[in-house]
């Protein structure tokens, strides 16, 4: 069974996640980082969860976290690609970049679950999953 890894870019939400893990007997691993399209740094901006946005940065700045890719998680052994993987993405607007940087996972037994924003009438995230990820 694949161990659960929860990754949270928002510092305040990461603190809640840590408390949640403690209350649940540490049944899941957690990481305060941003998932994105490449290695670097990112900051989450916005005043309410439904208005958060991930902003990639050139260098580390105050309140920034490390940005990593899905494939980097596999390379670091945090995701075991030899067994089925479920990836649930809610990455504040960088879903497509994140999916494209997860090519290794797309060739494995992986189920991707992504949030589709109602304001995107083109359904860009779903189209990426169907048109780009399926062809890998």
pLDDT tens by residue, 40-91: 999 888 766 556 778 888 888 888 999 999 999 999 999 999 999 999 988 8
| The pLDDT of residue 10 | 85
| The pLDDT of residue 67 | 94
The residues that bridge with 45 in the sheet, in sequence order, are: 53
Is residue 123 within 8 A of residue 102, CB to CB? The reply is no
Is residue 73 within 8 A of residue 5, CB to CB? The reply is yes
Is residue 50 within 8 A of residue 119, CB to CB? The reply is no
Average pLDDT over the chain reads 87
Enumerate the domain spans of the chain. Answer: 5-133
**How far apart (Å, rounded) are the C-alpha atoms in residues 5 and 28?**
6
């Amino acid at each position: 069974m694949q161990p659960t890894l929860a990754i949270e870019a928002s510092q305040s939400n990461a603190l809640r996640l840590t408390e949640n893990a403690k209350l649940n007997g540490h049944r899941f691993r957690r990481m305060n980082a941003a998932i994105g399209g490449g290695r670097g740094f990112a900051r989450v901006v916005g005043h309410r969860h439904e208005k958060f946005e991930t902003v990639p940065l050139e260098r580390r700045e105050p309140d920034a976290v490390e940005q990593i890719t899905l494939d980097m998680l596999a390379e670091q052994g945090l995701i075991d690609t030899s067994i089925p993987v479920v990836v649930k993405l809610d990455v504040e607007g960088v879903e497509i970049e994140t999916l494209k940087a997860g090519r290794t996972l797309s060739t494995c037994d992986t189920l991707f679950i992504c949030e589709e924003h109602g304001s995107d009438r083109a359904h860009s995230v779903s189209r990426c999953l169907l048109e780009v990820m399926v062809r890998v």
